[in-house]
Structure 1
Amino acid sequence: MKDGRIRIDKWLWFVRAVKTRTLAAKLASSGQVRVNRDKIDSASHPVKVGDVLTFPIGNRVRVLKVVDLGERRGPASEAALLYEDLSPAPVRSVGEETGESPAGDMAALQAAAVPVAVSGEGRPTKKARRQFDKDSGRG
């Protein structure tokens, strides 16, 4: 780390935003990462303390402010000290605010309607599988 800067792929790996340095390099090279609102497309792009990184991980957008550069990839508790999380709160569905979960109720109903295979009976026959699929609404 010369000049108080570090490669973005290395920093993303240090803070455990991705599992491997290779994945960090691919993310940085994909063009989906922004440093201070500017898109980057290089894994060697330098970041410094105070930079704000915006990038997608899964179905979320992470916004991290660089607080420290770090020396190594340590445990998660150490990695959390390297950034300030400015990410927006995850979007909640309508039922979650009131404590109700319409999707959860539907999943519970579907789980109750699915027949359960009895342990110890071995592999089902073709006839039993057809009946199972008919009873569970799959066939």
Structure 2
Amino acid sequence: MATENVRIDKWLWAARFFKTRTLAADAVDNGKVKLDRDRIKPARNVKVGEILHIDNGATEWEVTVMALSDVRGSAEMAQKLYAETEQSIVKRQQEAEKRKFFKEPGLALKGRPTKRDRRLLDKTNQ
């Protein structure tokens, strides 16, 4: 954890925002990870105190870098690498509340829907 220069893609992988370093590098390339709202490159070194905006497809975070590491360790160790901002916590909780009330249309079906099931699904989606 006492590393001075860590690439942003390695840090994102070590902090467990992405499962692989390749996914982290692709996210940075595609603008899903921003430093102070600006796009960056995967080879950029991250520094303690910087604020990152991370969107991994499922969740969005705004975090402050607290420590550096280029080694993927345990989840407890990964959580020590960053601190989530208050606005980010509130926003994620609001999104989780919204998802509680959203019902997936085909959730009750088992297997492939029959013709009758398809008609019912289409009827409920209108």
- The TM-score, its normalising length taken from structure 1, stands at 0.63
Q: Which residue of 1 aligns with 2:120?
A: 137
Q: Mapping of 1:37-52 within 5 angstroms?
A: 37-40=37-40, 42-52=41-51
Superposition pairs of residues 61-80 of structure 1, within 5 angstroms: 61-80=60-79
Deviations 1:10-44 (A, max 9, x none): 0000000000000011011112321133221x110
Letter in 2 for 1:53: L
TM-score by length of 2: 0.69
Deviation (angstroms), 1:88: 4.0
Root-mean-square deviation (CA), in Å?
A: 3.5
Q: How far does residue 45 in structure 1 lie from its aligned partner after superposition? A: 0.9
Whose Rg is larger? 1
Written as runs of structure 1 = structure 2, the 5 A alignment for 1:10-49 is: 10-40=10-40, 42-49=41-48
Pick closer, same or farther for the CA change 1:46–1:71 going to 2, 3 Å: closer
Shift of 1:59: 4.5
Rounded to whole Å, the distance in 2 between the matches of 1:69 and 1:53 is 13
> Structure 1 CA distance, aligned partners of 2:22 and 2:89?
27
Moved over 6 A (4+): none
Pair 1:57–1:137, CA change in 2 (3 A): same
Please give the alpha-carbon distance, in whole angstroms, between the structure 2 residues aligned to 1:66 and 1:17.
13
Which whole-Å CA distance do the structure 2 matches of 1:137 and 1:37 have between them?
A: 44
Distance in 1, matches of 2:6 and 2:121, equals 53
Query: 1:61: how far off?
Result: 2.0
Q: 1:89-120 deviations in whole A, cap 9, x for unaligned?
A: 22638xx6xxxx7x47xx5xx98xx7x99xxx
Return the letter of the residue paired with 2:11: W
Report if aligned partners of 2:32, 2:56 keep a CA contact under 8 Å in 1.
no
Question: CA offset at residue 52 of structure 1?
Answer: 0.8
Identity of paired residues, percent? 34
* Structure 1 residues not aligned, in runs of 5+: 118-128
